[in-house]
Structure 1
Amino acid sequence: MALYNRIDGRVLKEKMLATPEKRVTISFYKYHHLADPVAFRDQLYSDFEALGVFGRIYIASEGINAQVSIPAHQFEIFRDHLYAIDWMNGLRLNVAVEDNGKSFFKLKILVRKKIVADGLDDSTFDVTNTGTHVDAEAFHKLADDPNTIIIDMRNHYESEVGHFKGAILPNVDTFREELQVAEDLMRDQKDKNLLMYCTGGIRCEKASAWMKHIGFKNVFQLNGGIIKYAQEIKDKGIESKFIGKNFVFDERLGERITEDIIAVCHQCGKPCDDHTNCINDGCHLLFIQCNDCKKEFNNCCSPECKDIVALPEEVQKELRRGITKERQVFKKGRKKTV
């Protein structure tokens, strides 16, 4: 049995978009020492594929970080299977707020050095000594305290479309940069309440432990991140202090929390908070694009990319031959339009 997908992703994506099957999108993580991450990965792939699970999962010697989509009728079986693994028993599952069932179209489980790239040497501090976890109501109380500083522990393209009111929004591309910015900003304010948040909580687990290690006394983190927060305020009828969209790392690229649109189209400047990826396979820039510009530029980020996607596929392949790119994102604050 192949322990990885062998079918063209474009075929799988078209199949996923066409199916009426109801699916549930969830995310979860757990820091735990794994003696053999590769063996654990292979067993997990075999089990999850049999349940029809799609998604992206990172396995490392330090634990697991997962964003997955599960057939609705298999959800309880999936949860029971997960909880049967002793160190994941009772694990919090963050259920998507705005879910059309089209978040993932294949299963990918990768073994990495870390489940989140943070640039930290874990041997130098206690990664389990995390900040105090707070729910939505406690978060609001702290946020209203003038002695509190709120820091968004996500990248600029995430906070650009949605964030908590009054939060510091570092203009960075990676979590590694985020940690350094947070440390520098708070260097002379170690007696303040440091209130941190991220998408689902995992980045704050490591960030809060690091900030405590370097001397911050009152460190708090939003339990379950924005995803759990959105569910809590909905269930309790609490007014949201988060405005806009919560960026997510799957095909949806965002879950709407409030109707506020706080970003603009990167091409024309109109109010818009819909992220997309340039359809030029040699580009795939992540940027914000309104419907009018989507039509004008044929889902591309520029006239150059629009011209390229109009070429025969063979020519496009030749143009991008040998080109390897990391994730490309439109820089926050950039005003130039195409």
Structure 2
Amino acid sequence: MNLYTPLRSWLRAASCSAFIPKSRQLLPMKLPATQLNALCASFSAQHSFQHSSFSLFQKSFFSSCNISLSSKYPYIFPTNNPNEKSPYPLDIDADLSQLPTKDGYYTASFYCFTPIPSNELELLRLELIKWSIILSEPAFKNITCEKLQFDYLLAQLETTQVNFIRPLQAKLALTGRIYIHDIGINAQISFLGQYRKHIRFLIENNKWLSGRIPPFNYALTHNCAFKKFHVRVRPLVATDSTCNISTLENEPTYLSPEEWHSHLASNNKILIDMRNHYEFLVGKFDGAICPDVDTFREELDFVASKYADQKDKDIYMYCTGGIRCSVAGAILKEEGFKNIKTLKGGVIAYGKWIKDNIATDSSCQSDITLVSAQNIDQKHSSAQIIDQKHSSAQIIDQKHSSAQIIDQKHSSAQNIDQKHPSAQNIDQKHFPPQIKSNENTSECTTHSHRHQTPSLFIGKNFTFDKRLGEPITSHVLANCHQCGTQNDTYTNCSNPRCNLLFIQCDPCRSKYNNTCGNDHCIQVVDLEKIKKEEAIIAASKKSKKAEPINFKLGLPPIYDYKTRVRPDFTFRKLRKTHDT
């Protein structure tokens, strides 16, 4: 084996994350704000004289823009000539002031398909990395004038140096995961809210991205969803086949959330979930089919084979943010399918639309298809009905209040199901006992101040970040992989070499120490805690910061990808081991 192969592999892995040391040309860290603004102004003046294109670019931003906010922003652009484009306005993205956030960070995604020369991808990657670095600089934060901040960003894009070895300890203002390829870009990011316009400014300043990135598709819940900032040159979607711009020009029909809701509510449709099976497990559109396969390419083959004789029929597809359906719809249309329709913005956009159109009246707080504990108590007359039909419940009620019995640990539906077998038959499609029919819809709607839209998507939308999901309705469709109780909280085994993706309830999380329950994984996690405590104690004695401990040690993972996302077999094996 070539001796340089391991080195190349390590460098490739290291390049997935980028950090930067302080450049000699950067401004002083503790420079007063007034002097800093003056220096920044001189930098911007020099920059604008050297680059004539900057004045034109600046004019398009700070004067009237020829693009209306009501325009439709497409996802695909067959050409990408920098000299023939106009930048989008800075206020194209929705205002964040009305969106709650836990830590000041907002999470969003965006994608587009447009030609990018292969020899420009690494340069584009370096520039994207610089975005996070410059926005995180203390010197940048000290600038108070927004105009000077924009000038500073342009100046620093040329002077900032990227280093892939030395880590940056400060918390980044822009984190996330961005994939770039010669057919476009796919990004999921978290950023500080005050930098929304600055990120858009950087996008429109780039010659390949300017006038191409549609408005940000904001998440349903907001916090810093990523620990680091990764920029990778790789296919946007793993199709296992060549996917070019000419193929992607066969766009499916995009439906807005309102149009999508209207189409699905009218009649039975061919509805396909293009996400992974583990995403489908915790949330879905009612009546959707999710191919039980492991790769995106296999999903395409499944659809093409199953509906080969129905190419003229309407086929509806959806995914998390829309990009998978954009690619799948284009490929299927190229193979002869004529009426592929997809949800624009994916489940994320639909969830936001539902929340914007749901009633806020206190008399109708729950989802129209959700029975909360209060509704269950009202329908079954709480403990009165239970006491009348079950003498055993009367004895219990004498010792404990009915509310405690019915609503203990927020599991009223389970108690009622134990006493009312008929409640167990409310749904036979793997829905939890809390789900019921829409028989009380009129009652709920008449008390609301505005029209209430029942969500056709039930459960949680899985996300590929540390949140691992955001709820759209309160339905819980899945069960804990370890004890079988109703739960939909995904987690990864804390042993980094295991990293098994599975659903775990709070009691099991405490019992198995945030692991899958394998004895080896529990021991590794316990050892990690001991080592961290020892490192902290040793560092405190030497007045040094504790060095992070890497327990992967370059070793390969225990399970392959398919096993890590299909934990059922692993847990069946663990149960047999524990039983013996």
TM-score where L is the length of structure 2: 0.52
Deviates more, 1:174-183 or 1:257-266: 174-183
- Post-superposition CA distance 1:142-197 (Å, at most 9, x none): 22354620100000111111111100011222222221222222222222210000
CA distance in 2, matches of 1:236, 1:140: 12
> In 2, are the aligned partners of 1:152 and 1:168 still within 8 Å (CA)?
yes
- Post-superposition CA distance 1:106-148 (Å, at most 9, x none): 1111111x11111122259621111100012211232235462
More helix per residue = 2
Secondary structure at the aligned position of 1:292 is classed as helix
Secondary structure at the aligned position of 2:496 is classed as coil
CA distance in 2, matches of 1:85, 1:6: 21
Secondary structure at the aligned position of 2:248 is classed as coil
Which portions of structure 1, spanning 4 or more consecutive aligned residues, are displaced by more than 6 angstroms? 316-320
Unaligned regions of 5+ residues in structure 1, if any?
8-19
CA distance in 2, matches of 1:319, 1:214: 44
Aligned counterpart for 2:499 among listed residues 281, 284, 287: 284
Q: Which position in structure 2 is the counterpart of 1:15?
A: none
> In 2, are the aligned partners of 1:24 and 1:75 still within 8 Å (CA)?
no
CA distance in 2, matches of 1:189, 1:247: 30
| Higher RCO by CA contacts (8 Å cutoff, separation 6 or greater) | 1
Per-residue deviation, 1:71: 0.5
**Equivalent AA in structure 1 for residue 115 of structure 2:** H
**Equivalent AA in structure 2 for residue 276 of structure 1:** T
Deviates more, 1:252-261 or 1:30-39: 30-39
More strand per residue = 1
**Equivalent AA in structure 1 for residue 566 of structure 2:** K
2:343 corresponds to 1:108: no
2:561 corresponds to 1:329: no
2:356 corresponds to 1:274: no
- Residues 81 and 269 (structure 1), Cα distance of their counterparts in 2 relative to 1, 3 Å cut: same
Per-residue deviation, 1:248: 0.5
**Equivalent AA in structure 1 for residue 123 of structure 2:** A
> In 2, are the aligned partners of 1:83 and 1:91 still within 8 Å (CA)?
no
**Equivalent AA in structure 1 for residue 121 of structure 2:** P
CA distance in 2, matches of 1:332, 1:306: 17
What is the percentage of aligned positions where both structures have the same residue? 39
Q: Which position in structure 2 is the counterpart of 1:32?
A: 114
CA distance in 2, matches of 1:48, 1:291: 35
- Aligned ranges 1:68-217 → 2 under 5 Å: 68-85=189-206, 87-89=209-211, 91-99=214-222, 101-112=223-234, 114-122=235-243, 126-146=247-267, 148-217=269-338
- Post-superposition CA distance 1:267-298 (Å, at most 9, x none): 11111100001000211111110001101110
CA distance in 1, matches of 2:304, 2:198: 42
**Equivalent AA in structure 1 for residue 493 of structure 2:** C
Secondary structure at the aligned position of 1:311 is classed as helix
2:238 corresponds to 1:5: no
Per-residue deviation, 1:326: 5.4
Q: Which position in structure 2 is the counterpart of 1:254?
A: 469
CA distance in 2, matches of 1:163, 1:23: 27
CA distance in 2, matches of 1:286, 1:330: 5
Per-residue deviation, 1:33: 1.1
> In 1, are the aligned partners of 2:113 and 2:245 still within 8 Å (CA)?
no
Per-residue deviation, 1:92: 2.6
- Post-superposition CA distance 1:26-57 (Å, at most 9, x none): 11111111111111111111123222210111
Secondary structure at the aligned position of 2:247 is classed as coil
2:63 corresponds to 1:50: no
From the CA coordinates, give the structure whose radius of gyration is larger. 2
CA distance in 1, matches of 2:480, 2:474: 16
**Equivalent AA in structure 2 for residue 110 of structure 1:** R
Secondary structure at the aligned position of 1:58 is classed as strand
CA distance in 1, matches of 2:461, 2:551: 37
CA distance in 2, matches of 1:306, 1:268: 17
Q: Which position in structure 2 is the counterpart of 1:17?
A: none
Secondary structure at the aligned position of 1:284 is classed as coil
Deviates more, 1:85-94 or 1:260-269: 85-94
2:416 corresponds to 1:294: no
Q: What's the RMSD between the two structures over aligned residues?
A: 2.6
Q: Which position in structure 1 is the counterpart of 2:181?
A: 60
Secondary structure at the aligned position of 1:219 is classed as strand
CA distance in 2, matches of 1:242, 1:311: 43
> In 2, are the aligned partners of 1:130 and 1:209 still within 8 Å (CA)?
yes
> In 2, are the aligned partners of 1:157 and 1:332 still within 8 Å (CA)?
no
Deviates more, 1:65-74 or 1:81-90: 81-90
- Residues 164 and 279 (structure 1), Cα distance of their counterparts in 2 relative to 1, 3 Å cut: same
**Equivalent AA in structure 2 for residue 322 of structure 1:** L
2:524 corresponds to 1:308: yes
Q: Which position in structure 2 is the counterpart of 1:14?
A: none
